[in-house]
Structure 1
Amino acid sequence: MKIAVAQFNPVLGDTKANLRKMMDYLKEAKGKEAHLVVFPEMALTGYSVGEKLSLLAETKDGESLKTLMAACKELHLYALVSFPEKAGSDYYISSALLTDEGAMAGIYRKTHLFHNEKIHFKRGNSWPVFNTKIGRIGVMICYDLEFPEVSRLLRLNGAEIILVNTANMIPYENHQAIYMQSRALENELPLVICNRVGQEDDLLFFGRSMAVDQEGNTLFQLGEEEGIQTADISLDGHRDPKLDYTENLHPAIKGNLTKVFS
Structure 2
Amino acid sequence: MSAKINVSLVQFNPASLQAAENGLRMCEFAQAEAKQGANLIVFPELSNTGYVEPLVAGQPISDGVGGTLHPGEFAQRLQAAAATVDGPLIEQLRGIAERYKTHIVAGLALRDATQRGVLYNSSALIGPDGLFSVYHKIHLWHCEKLYFTPGRRIDVFDTALGKLGMQVCYDIRFPEITRIMSLKGATIVTSVWAAPFPVGKALADGDIFRHRAYTRATENGIFFLSCNRVGVQAGHEFLGRSLVAAPNGDILAAADNTEETVVRAQLDPALVDEYRCIAPVWLDRRPDVYEEAMADL
When the two structures are superposed, what TM-score results if normalisation uses the length of structure 1? 0.92
- Partner AA of 1:251 in structure 2: P
1:99 aligns with 2:121: no
Aligned pair partner of 1:247 in 262, 279, 283: 283
- Partner AA of 1:232 in structure 2: Q
Aligned in 2, Cα 1:31/1:61: closer, same or farther, shift over 3 Å? closer
- Partner AA of 1:231 in structure 2: A
Select the structure of larger CA radius of gyration.
2
**What SS does structure 2 have at the residue aligned with 1:178?**
helix
Aligned in 2, Cα 1:161/1:198: closer, same or farther, shift over 3 Å? same
Counterparts of 1:39-188 in structure 2, within 5 Å, are 39-48=43-52, 50-51=74-75, 52-87=77-112, 88-89=115-116, 90-101=118-129, 103-170=130-197, 171=203, 173-188=206-221
Structure 1 CA distance for aligned equivalents of residues 144 and 159 of structure 2: 31
Please, which runs of 5 or more residues in structure 1 have no aligned partner?
257-262
Structure 1 CA distance for aligned equivalents of residues 289 and 95 of structure 2: 43
Report percent identity of matched pairs.
28
**What SS does structure 2 have at the residue aligned with 1:4?**
strand
**What SS does structure 2 have at the residue aligned with 1:116?**
helix
Structure 1 CA distance for aligned equivalents of residues 224 and 278 of structure 2: 22
The answer as to whether partners of 2:223 and 2:244 remain within 8 angstroms in 1 is yes
What is the CA-CA distance between 1:59 and the residue it aligns to?
2.4
What is the CA-CA distance between 1:10 and the residue it aligns to?
0.4
Q: Match of 1:2? A: 6
The answer as to whether partners of 2:156 and 2:163 remain within 8 angstroms in 1 is yes
**Comparing 46-55 and 219-228, the one that deviates more:** 46-55
- Partner AA of 2:78 in structure 1: L
Aligned in 2, Cα 1:174/1:155: closer, same or farther, shift over 3 Å? same
Aligned in 2, Cα 1:254/1:230: closer, same or farther, shift over 3 Å? farther
What is the CA-CA distance between 1:153 and the residue it aligns to?
0.6
The answer as to whether partners of 2:218 and 2:248 remain within 8 angstroms in 1 is yes
Q: Match of 2:267? A: 233
What is the CA-CA distance between 1:254 and the residue it aligns to?
7.2
The answer as to whether partners of 2:16 and 2:49 remain within 8 angstroms in 1 is yes
The answer as to whether partners of 1:36 and 1:78 remain within 8 angstroms in 2 is yes
Please, which runs of 5 or more residues in structure 2 have no aligned partner?
54-73, 198-202, 293-297
When the two structures are superposed, what TM-score results if normalisation uses the length of structure 2? 0.81
**What SS does structure 1 have at the residue aligned with 2:14?**
coil
**What SS does structure 1 have at the residue aligned with 2:247?**
coil
Q: Match of 1:195? A: 228
What is the CA-CA distance between 1:178 and the residue it aligns to?
0.9
Structure 2 CA distance for aligned equivalents of residues 36 and 224 of structure 1: 22
The answer as to whether partners of 1:161 and 1:235 remain within 8 angstroms in 2 is no
Task: Count matched residues.
Answer: 255
Runs of 4+ in 1 over 4 A off after TM superposition: 253-256
Structure 1 CA distance for aligned equivalents of residues 86 and 194 of structure 2: 24
Aligned in 2, Cα 1:54/1:240: closer, same or farther, shift over 3 Å? closer
The answer as to whether partners of 2:52 and 2:144 remain within 8 angstroms in 1 is no
**What SS does structure 1 have at the residue aligned with 2:47?**
coil
- Partner AA of 1:116 in structure 2: C
What is the CA-CA distance between 1:242 and the residue it aligns to?
5.0
What is the CA-CA distance between 1:13 and the residue it aligns to?
1.1
- Partner AA of 1:121 in structure 2: F
Q: Match of 2:65? A: none
Structure 2 CA distance for aligned equivalents of residues 26 and 217 of structure 1: 26
Q: Match of 1:224? A: 258
Structure 1 CA distance for aligned equivalents of residues 86 and 153 of structure 2: 20
